[in-house]
Protein backbone atom coordinates (compact mmCIF):
# COMPACT_ATOMS: atom_id res chain seq x y z
CA UNK A 1 0.00 0.00 0.00
CA UNK A 2 1.59 3.22 -1.15
CA UNK A 3 0.58 5.90 1.28
CA UNK A 4 -0.11 9.10 -0.65
CA UNK A 5 -1.88 10.76 2.30
CA UNK A 6 1.08 10.12 4.57
CA UNK A 7 3.56 11.25 1.89
CA UNK A 8 1.74 14.54 1.48
CA UNK A 9 1.27 15.17 5.16
CA UNK A 10 4.31 13.68 6.83
CA UNK A 11 7.17 13.11 4.34
CA UNK A 12 5.49 8.68 2.16
CA UNK A 13 -2.34 -3.11 4.17
CA UNK A 14 -5.52 -3.16 6.52
CA UNK A 15 -8.88 -3.12 8.93
CA UNK A 16 -11.22 -2.86 12.50
CA UNK A 17 -14.94 -3.20 13.31
CA UNK A 18 -17.95 -2.35 15.43
CA UNK A 19 -21.70 -2.72 15.41
CA UNK A 20 -24.66 -0.58 16.41
CA UNK A 21 -27.61 -2.73 17.48
CA UNK A 22 -31.25 -1.80 17.63
CA UNK A 23 -33.83 -2.72 20.18
CA UNK A 24 -34.60 -6.26 18.96
CA UNK A 25 -32.32 -9.28 18.87
CA UNK A 26 -32.64 -9.58 15.09
CA UNK A 27 -32.30 -5.89 14.30
CA UNK A 28 -28.94 -4.62 13.10
CA UNK A 29 -28.43 -0.90 12.55
CA UNK A 30 -25.68 0.09 10.13
CA UNK A 31 -23.63 2.97 11.62
CA UNK A 32 -23.51 6.31 9.82
CA UNK A 33 -20.31 8.15 8.96
CA UNK A 34 -20.87 10.37 12.00
CA UNK A 35 -21.27 7.30 14.22
CA UNK A 36 -18.02 5.82 12.94
CA UNK A 37 -16.12 9.10 13.27
CA UNK A 38 -16.97 9.23 16.97
CA UNK A 39 -15.19 5.90 17.46
CA UNK A 40 -11.96 6.69 15.62
CA UNK A 41 -8.59 6.70 17.34
CA UNK A 42 -7.60 10.09 18.75
CA UNK A 43 -4.65 11.79 20.40
CA UNK A 44 -5.34 10.18 23.79
CA UNK A 45 -5.90 6.63 22.52
CA UNK A 46 -2.29 5.45 22.84
CA UNK A 47 0.58 6.30 25.17
CA UNK A 48 2.74 9.18 23.99
CA UNK A 49 2.33 12.67 22.59
CA UNK A 50 0.15 12.46 19.46
CA UNK A 51 -1.33 15.05 17.11
CA UNK A 52 -4.07 14.75 14.49
CA UNK A 53 -2.67 15.14 11.00
CA UNK A 54 -4.72 17.74 9.15
CA UNK A 55 -3.67 18.66 5.58
CA UNK A 56 -3.46 22.33 4.58
CA UNK A 57 -6.80 23.45 3.21
CA UNK A 58 -8.66 20.43 4.62
CA UNK A 59 -9.19 21.67 8.16
CA UNK A 60 -12.47 19.76 8.54
CA UNK A 61 -10.47 16.52 8.17
CA UNK A 62 -10.11 16.54 11.95
CA UNK A 63 -13.78 15.55 12.25
CA UNK A 64 -12.92 12.16 10.78
CA UNK A 65 -15.93 12.11 8.43
CA UNK A 66 -14.90 11.33 4.86
CA UNK A 67 -16.69 13.49 2.29
CA UNK A 68 -16.67 12.73 -1.44
CA UNK A 69 -13.90 15.31 -1.88
CA UNK A 70 -11.72 13.76 0.83
CA UNK A 71 -12.32 10.24 -0.51
CA UNK A 72 -10.01 10.98 -3.43
CA UNK A 73 -7.24 12.10 -1.08
CA UNK A 74 -7.07 8.93 0.99
CA UNK A 75 -4.35 6.31 0.54
CA UNK A 76 -5.36 3.38 -1.63
CA UNK A 77 -4.85 -0.33 -1.05
CA UNK A 78 -2.88 -1.34 -4.16
CA UNK A 79 -2.94 -5.10 -4.70
CA UNK A 80 -0.41 -6.97 -6.82
CA UNK A 81 -1.08 -8.84 -10.06
CA UNK A 82 -1.29 -12.14 -8.15
CA UNK A 83 -4.56 -10.99 -6.54
CA UNK A 84 -7.77 -11.88 -8.33
CA UNK A 85 -9.63 -9.37 -10.47
CA UNK A 86 -12.42 -9.41 -7.87
CA UNK A 87 -10.04 -8.56 -5.03
CA UNK A 88 -8.37 -5.77 -6.99
CA UNK A 89 -11.76 -4.34 -7.95
CA UNK A 90 -12.85 -4.39 -4.30
CA UNK A 91 -9.65 -2.61 -3.22
CA UNK A 92 -10.13 0.06 -5.88
CA UNK A 93 -13.82 0.63 -5.17
CA UNK A 94 -14.01 0.53 -1.36
CA UNK A 95 -15.23 3.85 0.02
CA UNK A 96 -14.23 4.71 3.55
CA UNK A 97 -16.74 6.60 5.67
CA UNK A 98 -14.41 7.70 8.48
CA UNK A 99 -10.65 8.23 8.64
CA UNK A 100 -8.08 9.72 10.94
CA UNK A 101 -4.29 9.85 10.98
CA UNK A 102 -2.39 10.64 14.16
CA UNK A 103 1.35 11.34 14.30
CA UNK A 104 3.64 10.62 17.23
CA UNK A 105 5.82 13.48 18.45
CA UNK A 106 9.24 11.89 18.98
CA UNK A 107 12.39 12.90 20.83
CA UNK A 108 14.43 11.89 17.77
CA UNK A 109 12.28 12.44 14.66
CA UNK A 110 13.42 12.16 11.07
CA UNK A 111 13.44 15.70 9.70
CA UNK A 112 14.33 15.70 5.99
CA UNK A 113 16.31 16.89 4.19
CA UNK A 114 19.11 17.48 6.71
CA UNK A 115 18.30 15.11 9.58
CA UNK A 116 17.98 11.56 8.25
CA UNK A 117 18.18 9.63 11.50
CA UNK A 118 15.55 8.55 13.99
CA UNK A 119 11.94 7.51 13.41
CA UNK A 120 8.71 8.83 11.94
CA UNK A 121 5.61 7.13 13.39
CA UNK A 122 1.96 7.46 12.38
CA UNK A 123 -1.25 5.48 12.85
CA UNK A 124 -4.11 5.56 10.37
CA UNK A 125 -7.61 4.16 10.86
CA UNK A 126 -10.14 3.70 8.07
CA UNK A 127 -13.73 2.64 8.78
CA UNK A 128 -16.68 1.77 6.59
CA UNK A 129 -20.04 0.13 7.30
CA UNK A 130 -22.71 -1.85 5.50
CA UNK A 131 -25.01 -4.84 5.75
CA UNK A 132 -23.35 -7.85 7.42
CA UNK A 133 -23.19 -9.94 4.22
CA UNK A 134 -21.73 -7.02 2.29
CA UNK A 135 -19.05 -6.37 4.91
CA UNK A 136 -18.15 -10.06 5.17
CA UNK A 137 -17.76 -10.31 1.40
CA UNK A 138 -15.62 -7.15 1.26
CA UNK A 139 -13.41 -8.41 4.08
CA UNK A 140 -12.87 -11.75 2.34
CA UNK A 141 -11.95 -10.10 -0.96
CA UNK A 142 -9.45 -7.73 0.64
CA UNK A 143 -8.02 -10.45 2.87
CA UNK A 144 -7.59 -12.89 -0.02
CA UNK A 145 -6.03 -10.20 -2.19
CA UNK A 146 -3.58 -9.16 0.51
CA UNK A 147 -2.69 -12.77 1.24
CA UNK A 148 -1.98 -13.37 -2.46
CA UNK A 149 0.54 -10.52 -2.38
CA UNK A 150 2.63 -11.86 0.49
CA UNK A 151 6.28 -12.39 -0.36
CA UNK A 152 8.84 -10.24 -2.11
CA UNK A 153 7.98 -6.63 -2.98
CA UNK A 154 9.70 -5.66 -6.25
CA UNK A 155 11.55 -2.37 -6.46
CA UNK A 156 9.44 0.52 -7.72
CA UNK A 157 9.12 4.03 -6.34
CA UNK A 158 10.44 2.39 -3.18
CA UNK A 159 11.78 -1.06 -2.49
CA UNK A 160 12.65 -3.79 -2.80
CA UNK A 161 11.04 -5.32 0.25
CA UNK A 162 8.97 -8.12 1.68
CA UNK A 163 5.39 -8.63 2.86
CA UNK A 164 4.60 -11.24 5.50
CA UNK A 165 1.58 -12.27 7.53
CA UNK A 166 1.55 -11.27 11.20
CA UNK A 167 -0.61 -12.58 14.02
CA UNK A 168 -3.21 -10.23 15.47
CA UNK A 169 -4.97 -10.51 18.84
CA UNK A 170 -8.38 -12.18 18.92
CA UNK A 171 -10.31 -9.06 17.88
CA UNK A 172 -13.49 -8.65 15.84
CA UNK A 173 -15.33 -11.47 14.08
CA UNK A 174 -12.43 -12.03 11.70
CA UNK A 175 -9.01 -10.51 11.16
CA UNK A 176 -5.89 -10.59 9.00
CA UNK A 177 -2.56 -8.88 9.55
CA UNK A 178 0.44 -8.18 7.33
CA UNK A 179 3.75 -6.36 7.71
CA UNK A 180 5.28 -4.69 4.67
CA UNK A 181 8.95 -3.78 4.99
CA UNK A 182 10.72 -1.98 2.15
CA UNK A 183 13.48 0.50 1.50
CA UNK A 184 12.88 4.19 0.92
CA UNK A 185 14.09 5.48 -2.43
CA UNK A 186 17.81 6.02 -2.10
CA UNK A 187 18.01 3.28 0.53
CA UNK A 188 18.49 5.76 3.38
CA UNK A 189 15.51 4.57 5.43
CA UNK A 190 13.28 1.55 6.00
CA UNK A 191 9.49 1.60 5.93
CA UNK A 192 7.63 -0.76 8.27
CA UNK A 193 3.88 -0.76 7.61
CA UNK A 194 1.87 -2.97 9.96
CA UNK A 195 -1.64 -3.51 8.62
CA UNK A 196 -4.66 -4.96 10.38
CA UNK A 197 -7.80 -5.95 8.48
CA UNK A 198 -10.66 -6.74 10.85
CA UNK A 199 -14.42 -7.06 10.44
CA UNK A 200 -17.13 -7.01 13.07
CA UNK A 201 -20.66 -7.55 11.76
CA UNK A 202 -21.52 -4.25 10.06
CA UNK A 203 -18.14 -2.50 10.18
CA UNK A 204 -14.90 -2.96 8.31
CA UNK A 205 -11.79 -1.05 9.24
CA UNK A 206 -8.22 -0.75 8.16
CA UNK A 207 -5.57 0.16 10.73
CA UNK A 208 -1.99 0.85 9.71
CA UNK A 209 0.86 1.50 12.11
CA UNK A 210 3.66 3.11 10.10
CA UNK A 211 7.25 3.33 11.30
CA UNK A 212 9.84 4.91 9.04
CA UNK A 213 13.28 4.37 10.58
CA UNK A 214 16.73 5.59 9.62
CA UNK A 215 19.80 4.55 11.60
CA UNK A 216 17.45 3.56 14.44
CA UNK A 217 15.66 0.50 15.82
CA UNK A 218 12.00 -0.17 14.99
CA UNK A 219 9.89 1.98 17.30
CA UNK A 220 7.26 -0.68 18.07
CA UNK A 221 7.50 -4.45 18.42
CA UNK A 222 4.86 -6.63 16.68
CA UNK A 223 3.28 -7.37 20.07
CA UNK A 224 2.97 -3.66 20.83
CA UNK A 225 1.35 -3.09 17.44
CA UNK A 226 -1.13 -5.87 18.19
CA UNK A 227 -1.99 -4.26 21.52
CA UNK A 228 -2.56 -0.92 19.76
CA UNK A 229 -4.96 -2.51 17.30
CA UNK A 230 -6.84 -4.21 20.14
CA UNK A 231 -7.13 -0.84 21.90
CA UNK A 232 -8.56 0.74 18.74
CA UNK A 233 -11.14 -2.05 18.41
CA UNK A 234 -12.27 -1.52 22.00
CA UNK A 235 -13.36 2.00 21.03
CA UNK A 236 -15.88 0.70 18.53
Q: What b/e sequence results for 24-45 when a residue is b if at least 16 CB atoms lie within 10 Å of its CB, and e otherwise?
A: eeeeeebbebebbbbbbbbeeb
Nearest to 196 by CA among 206, 186, 187, 210: 206
User: Which domain does 164 fall in, by range?
Assistant: 4-234
pLDDT at 4: 33
Quote the pLDDT of residue 75: 81
Confidence (pLDDT) at 1: 36
- Whole-number pLDDT of residue 10: 35
Task: Give me the pLDDT at residue 19, please.
Answer: 34
pLDDT of res. 143: 97
In this prediction, the residues of the chain whose per-residue pLDDT falls under 50 are 1-24
pLDDT of residue 223: 92
Give me the pLDDT at residue 6, please.
44
pLDDT for 38: 97
The model's pLDDT over 176-227, given as tens digits with 9 standing for 90+, comes to 999 999 998 778 899 999 999 999 999 999 999 999 999 999 999 989 999 9
pLDDT at site 160: 86
Domains of the chain: total? 1
pLDDT at 156: 75
| pLDDT at site 26 | 63
**CATH classification at residue 39:** 3.40.1000
- In this prediction, residue 58 carries a pLDDT of 81
Reported residue count of the chain is: 236
In this structure, which long-range contacts are made by residues 71-76, counting pairs with CB atoms below 8 Å and at least 24 apart in sequence? 71/95, 71/96, 73/4, 73/5, 73/8, 74/5, 74/99, 74/126, 75/1, 75/2, 75/3, 75/4, 75/5, 75/6, 75/124, 76/1, 76/2, 76/4
Amino acid sequence: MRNTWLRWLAVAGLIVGGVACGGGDDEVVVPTAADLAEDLIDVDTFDGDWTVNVPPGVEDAETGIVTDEKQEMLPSLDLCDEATDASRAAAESVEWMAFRQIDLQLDDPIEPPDDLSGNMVSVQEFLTAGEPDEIENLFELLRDGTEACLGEIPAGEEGPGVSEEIELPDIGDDRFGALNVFAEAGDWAEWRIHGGLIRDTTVLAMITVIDIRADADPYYTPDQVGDMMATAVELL
